[in-house]
A and B are shown apart, each in its own frame.
Chain A
Amino acid sequence: MPHKRNSALIGAGAALAVTLLVWAGMALRDNRLEAALMRADPDRIPAVPPLSQLAVSLAKPAYRAHCARCHGADLQGNPELGAAKLTGSPRLYGSGKVSDFERTIAYGIRSGAPKAWNLADMPAFGRAPDPATVHKVPPLSPSEIDDLTDYVLSLGRKPADPDATLRGRALFADKGQCFDCHSGDGKGDSAIGAPDLTDDVWLYGDGSRDAIIQSISRGRHGTCPAWENRLSPATIRALSVYIYTRSHPRDPS
Chain B
Amino acid sequence: MTSSFLQPGPRRGLFLNAAGALIGLGIAGYGLFTAKDTQTAIIPAEDLALVNNRPILVADYETQLQTQFGVAPGEATPEQRQRVVHDMIREELFVQRGLEIDEPSVDPDVRSALVNAVDQEAAADAMSRSPTEPQLQDFYQRHKDKYSTEGIMLLHDLVPASGATIPAEAAQALRQGMALPAALRKFGLKESDKVKGEEFYFAAKIHLGDALYAAALKLDAGAVADPITIDGVPHLLVMERSRPPVALDFGKAHAEVLGDYLKDVAQLAQAGEEGFLARRATIRIASEYRK
Report the Cα distance A18→B259, complex, angstroms: 52
User: How far is the CB of A153 from the nearest CB of chain B, in Å?
Assistant: 19
A195 shortest CB reach to chain B, Å:
14
Which A residue sits closest to B75, measured CB to CB?
A43
B-chain residues with CB within 8 Å of residue A37 when the two chains form the complex = 45
- Contacts A7-B6, A81-B255, A223-B262: A17 and B124 contacting too (C-beta < 8 A)? no
Nearest B residue (CB) for A66: B130
B262: nearest chain-A partner, CB-CB:
A223
Measured between beta carbons, the chain B residues less than 8 angstroms from A69 are 130
Let me know if B80 is at the binding interface, CB within 8 A. Answer: no
Q: Do A232 and B46 touch across chains, with their CB atoms under 8 A apart?
A: yes
Is the CB–CB distance between A43 and B74 below 8 Å?
yes
> Which DSSP category, helix, strand, loop or mixed, fits chain B's interface?
helix
A90 interface residue (CB < 8 Å to B) = no
> Do B63 and A103 touch across chains, with their CB atoms under 8 A apart?
yes
Contact at B254–A80, with CB atoms within 8 Å? yes
CA distance in complex: A252, B254 (Å): 39
Instruction: Tell me if A148 is interfacial: C-beta within 8 Å of chain B.
Output: no
B194 interface residue per 8 A CB criterion: no
| Contact status B66-A99, CB under 8 Å | yes
Interface contact A127-B202, CB-CB below 8 Å: yes
> Looking at chain B, what size class is its interface with the partner chain?
35 or more
Q: B117 contacts the other chain (Cβ, under 8 Å)? A: yes
B258 beta carbon closer than 8 Å to chain A = yes
Counting contact residues on chain A (CB < 8 A from B), the size range is: 35 or more
Which residues of chain A in 25-82 are interfacial with respect to chain B, using CB atoms and an 8 Å cutoff? 34-39, 41-44, 66, 69-70, 80-82
| Residues in A215-236 with C-beta less than 8 Å from chain B | 217-218, 220-223, 225-230, 232-234, 236
B46 CB contact (under 8 Å) in A115, A223, A234: A234
Contacts of A20 in B (CB 8 A): 23
Closest to A203 in B: B255
B259 touches A222 (CB 8 A): yes
Complex formed: what's the CA distance from A116 to B259 in Å?
16
Q: Which A residue's beta carbon lies closest to that of B153?
A: A142
Given the complex of chains A and B, what is the CA–CA distance between A111 and B120 in angstroms?
9
Given A112-B127, A143-B197, A222-B259: A127 and B150 within 8 A (CB)?
yes
Residue B62 lies at the interface, judged by CB distance under 8 Å to chain A: yes
Flag if B19 contacts A39 (CB, 8 Å): no
CB pair A35 B120 closer than 8 Å = no
Residue of B whose beta carbon sits closest to that of A2: B8
Which residues of B does A touch, CB under 8 Å?
5-8, 16, 19, 23, 26, 30, 45-46, 57-60, 62-63, 66, 72-74, 117, 120-130, 149-150, 152, 196-200, 202-203, 206, 251-252, 254-256, 258-259, 262, 266
| Sampled A-B contacts (12; CB under 8 Å) | A20-B23, A24-B26, A37-B45, A38-B45, A41-B73, A66-B130, A111-B124, A112-B120, A127-B200, A229-B124, A233-B58, A233-B59
